[in-house]
């Protein structure tokens, strides 16, 4: 059994120690000690040594996690900084280790706080009562509600621990102050729209500069602007401007739509008008040419026998005309007044009207 084996070995060690101590005692004491005291004293010493041994072993090693660095102080003074892994140190609190999460990116939120949520779900944010952090004056003396995140890393664990007290508060104070300074140099509309990246970049530079001045071993990784809004009270008015922009675009689009609808059609109509004119012109000229050609031919034949042709043409025409006639009345020129000849019935008069 393992316990038995261990127990035996400890007993063995104790025996060995006993022997050694008694030998030493005999050599040093020179027989001065009373015989009765010896077993008691040795037992006490033994326990003390075992206690010290266990304590010493337990306090002589430590592990540093992957994301951490260990700052070792010896007799309270800085000794060394250690990297992740198992390390040994002087026991009994002579060496002390403070672990600092130096490779972790630490995040500070301003103007809002993310609530702790069950893993796998989206982070939720609570917005109540952080407006004192996020409300700030812009350069045109308007108010903007700016929320941002600052991410930093501890680059020098020793400085982080011993150069400043409450580093986190210092970082927050500086970031709040710097953000206001940056926003304070800008127009509210810039901050709300196009200036976001610029604001974040400048804030990062200035915050880092201030922190370098304190020499706290902190390096800012990034500053991100989150929600940047007009204050709650004026938000509807800002939305109205956006609505107006949409409306404006819509109006213009409609007008352009109308234009696009009418003008191409008008162009088509114009083309049609021209084509028609050209058609008319072609027809007219061709007819003229045709008529002219016909006349030329006919008149050249006519000239050969004008008199007889005239008569023939005249009579032919009359024949054609009179053939179509419905009624034909022949009157002698001696008859005076034509009316008696006609015997219109009432119906016929009506018809002719």
Instruction: Rank residues 147 and 190 by Cβ distance to another protein and give the closer one.
Output: 190
Closest approach, Cβ 219 to another protein, in A, equals: 17
| CA 143 from centre of chain | 23
> 151 with 203: CB under 8 angstroms?
no
Q: Cβ of residue 329: shortest distance to another protein, in angstroms?
A: 4
For 222, residues 6+ apart whose C-beta sits below 8 A from its C-beta are 150, 151, 200, 204
For another protein, give the closer residue by CB, 9 or 250: 250
Q: How far is the CB of 224 from another protein (least distance, A)?
A: 20
Q: Cβ(40)–Cβ(46) under 8 Å?
A: no
17 versus 135: smaller Cβ distance to another protein: 135
Residue 88: its H or E element: strand 85-88
* Min dist. Cβ of residue 233 to another protein (A): 5
Tell me the closest approach of the beta carbon of residue 146 to another protein, in angstroms: 12
- DSSP secondary-structure letter at 335? -
CA neighbor of 97 nearest in space, from 114, 106, 115, 84: 84
Rounded to whole angstroms, the Cα distance separating 138 from 187 reads: 6
Pick 6 or 245: Cβ nearer another protein: 245
DSSP assignment of 283-307, as one string? HHHHHHHHHHHHHHHHHHHHHHSHH
In the bound complex, what is the minimum distance in angstroms from residue 133's beta carbon to another protein? 8
Q: Judged by CB, which is closer to another protein: 68, or 186? A: 186
Residue 110 beta carbon to another protein: minimum distance, rounded to whole angstroms: 11
Nearer to another protein, 149 or 218 (CB): 218
Q: CB–CB of 43/21 below 8 Å?
A: no
Q: Is 45 exposed, middle or buried (0-12, 13-18, 19+ CB in 10 A)?
A: middle
Quick one: 133 or 156, whose CB is closer to another protein? 133
Smallest gap, in angstroms, from Cβ of residue 22 to another protein? 17
Q: How far is the CB of 218 from another protein (least distance, A)?
A: 12
In the complex with another protein, the residue whose CB is nearer, 2 or 335, is 335
* Rounded CA separation 215/163 (Å): 7
Determine phi and psi for 164, rounding to 5 degrees. -150, 150
DSSP state of 122: P
CB neighbours (10 Å) of residue 172? 16
Phi, psi of 118 (to 5 degrees): -60, 145
Q: How far is the CB of 62 from another protein (least distance, A)?
A: 18
Residue 192 near residue 230 (C-beta atoms within 8 A): yes
For another protein, the closer of residues 10 and 263 by Cβ is 263
Residue 336 tokens, joined? 């005076």
Q: Please, which residue, 122 or 334, has the CB nearer to another protein?
A: 334
- Three-point CA angle 318, 319, 320, nearest 5°: 90
Tokens (6 digits) for 221: 């990784």
């Amino acid at each position: 059994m393992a316990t038995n084996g261990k127990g035996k070995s400890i007993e063995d060690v104790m025996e060995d120690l006993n022997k050694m101590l008694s030998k030493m005692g005999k050599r040093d004491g020179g027989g001065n000690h009373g015989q009765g005291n010896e077993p008691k004293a040795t037992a006490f010493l033994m326990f003390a040594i075992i206690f010290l041994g266990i304590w010493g072993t337990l306090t002589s090693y430590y592990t540093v996690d992957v994301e951490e660095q260990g700052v070792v102080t010896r007799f309270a003074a800085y000794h060394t900084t250690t990297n992740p892994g198992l390390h040994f140190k002087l026991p009994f609190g002579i060496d002390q280790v403070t672990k600092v999460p130096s490779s972790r990116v630490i995040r500070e939120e301003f103007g809002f706080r993310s609530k702790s949520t069950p893993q796998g779900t989206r982070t939720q944010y609570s917005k109540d009562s952080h407006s004192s952090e996020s409300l700030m004056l812009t350069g045109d003396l308007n108010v903007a509600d700016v929320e941002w995140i600052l991410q930093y890393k501890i680059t020098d664990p020793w400085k982080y621990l011993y150069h400043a007290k409450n580093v986190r508060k210092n970082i927050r104070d500086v970031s709040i102050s710097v953000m206001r300074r940056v926003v304070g140099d800008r127009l509210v509309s810039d901050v709300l729209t196009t200036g976001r990246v610029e604001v974040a970049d400048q804030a990062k530079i200035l915050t880092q500069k201030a922190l370098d001045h304190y020499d706290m071993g902190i390096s800012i990784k990034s500053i991100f602007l989150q929600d940047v809004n007009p204050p709650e009270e004026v938000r509807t008015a800002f939305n109205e401007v956006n609505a107006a922009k949409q409306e404006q675009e819509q109006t213009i689009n409609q007008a352009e739509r109308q234009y696009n609808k009418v003008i191409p059609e008008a162009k088509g109509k114009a083309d049609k008008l021209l084509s028609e004119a050209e058609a008319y012109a072609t027809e007219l000229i061709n007819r003229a040419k045709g008529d002219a050609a016909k006349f030329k031919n006919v008149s050249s034949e006519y000239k050969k026998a004008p008199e007889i042709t005239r008569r023939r043409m005249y009579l032919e025409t009359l024949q054609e005309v009179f053939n179509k006639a419905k009624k034909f009345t022949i009157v002698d020129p001696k008859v005076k007044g034509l009316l008696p000849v006609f015997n219109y019935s009432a119906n016929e008069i009506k018809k002719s009207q």
